[in-house]
Amino acid sequence: MKDIATPKRTKDILERHGFRFKKSLGQNFLIDPNVLANIVDAAGVTEETGVIEVGPGIGALTEQSARKAKNVLAFEIDQRLLPILNETMAPYPHVSVVNEDVLKADLHKRISESFAPGQDLAVIANLPYYVTTPILMKLLEEKLPVRVMVVMMQLEVAERIAASPGSKAYGSLSIAAQYYAHTETVFTVPRTVFMPPPNVDSAILRLTRREKPPVDVADEALFFELVRASFVQRRKTLLNNLSKHFQDKLSKQETAEALQRIGIDGARRAETLMMKEFAALTSTFFRI
């Protein structure tokens, strides 16, 4: 069976259906079957795996997943793509496409309806650049029964998610993602293998779900609030960022004392703190 993801076949499908790309939906379709096959391989998909996909487009990546997986559930927000997917996915009866915004979907309900209890699950997706972070964080924060997520995104965002303390890319997104999953960049993807080509290069990021977070925190909501507040202005010190954020609850002196109690220098910048230091800070603030 011919691959969907060749320049000629992609062009033929789009022309036959009179499809025009919508910039507002961040539509950039991959036209290299080898890249797509490598994405599926990176997720360790077997004949027992259920795959969840976000934004299948015309089904190029969906097809590669369907060739290896037991079943596939794909969320497509653009109604114009449904007739195309009906055609391209016809050879794969184990693929289900739902016309739904994944950000508004009840994912636990969808998963329970589409997959067997305890089935091995993987998210495999070429995420639209404009909503990469919201989608990724929803998938992580809802603590879905998913073993791994292998997702394509803008290279810069992938670098931020996988960044280590002390690097320029390290920030609140790094900590949030790494709290829920082990993160690693698998490979990069040049802009030339997309139709139309985006303005940036992309990367494939693998996020393997942790059985438990790497740190214990007294209050998850407070932990993430502290992390976000610490990075509000990267060039400012930790003390300045936190005292401004909590000014209605604590004086600057009280914030400085909270930092001193756990041996963190308030003159440091947030990018130098490890996750365990933010966890210790959360415990201190939780008691105030």
CATH of the domain at 231: 1.10.8.100
Tell me, yes or no, whether 63 and 123 share the same domain: yes
Separation between Cα atoms, residue 177 and residue 147, nearest integer Å = 15
Tell me, yes or no, whether 44 and 156 share the same domain: yes
Tell me, yes or no, whether 169 and 232 share the same domain: no
30 is in an annotated binding site: yes
How many domains in the chain? Answer: 2
Tell me, yes or no, whether 28 and 139 share the same domain: yes
The identity of residue 109, as a single letter, is K
DSSP codes joined into one string, 135-158: HHHHHHHTT-S-SEEEEEEEHHHH
Tell me, yes or no, whether 50 and 83 share the same domain: yes
Instruction: Decide which of 209, 235, 269 is a domain's last residue.
Output: 209
Instruction: Decide which of 186, 209, 232 is a domain's last residue.
Output: 209
Domain of 274? 220-287
50 is in an annotated binding site: no
136 is in an annotated binding site: no
Torsion of CA 195, 196, 202, 203, to 10 degrees: -20
Separation between Cα atoms, residue 13 and residue 233, nearest integer Å = 47
What's residue 22's pLDDT? Answer: 76
Tell me, yes or no, whether 202 and 254 share the same domain: no
Tell me, yes or no, whether 135 and 233 share the same domain: no
- pTM equals 0.92
248 is in an annotated binding site: no
Tell me, yes or no, whether 235 and 186 share the same domain: no
- Within a domain: 187: yes
Instruction: Name residues whose C-beta falls within 8 Å of residue 86's C-beta, 6 or more positions apart in sequence.
Output: 97
Instruction: Decide which of 156, 176, 209 is a domain's last residue.
Output: 209
Tell me, yes or no, whether 44 and 136 share the same domain: yes
Tell me, yes or no, whether 260 and 148 share the same domain: no
pLDDT in tens, the chain (288 residues): 689 999 999 999 999 999 887 776 667 889 999 999 999 999 999 999 999 999 999 999 999 999 999 999 999 999 999 999 999 999 999 999 999 999 999 999 999 999 999 999 999 999 988 899 999 999 999 999 999 999 999 999 999 999 999 999 999 999 999 999 999 999 999 999 999 888 899 999 999 999 999 999 989 999 999 999 999 999 999 999 999 999 999 899 999 999 999 999 999 999 999 999 999 999 988 676
Helix spans in 94-198 (H)? 107-114, 132-141, 155-161, 172-180
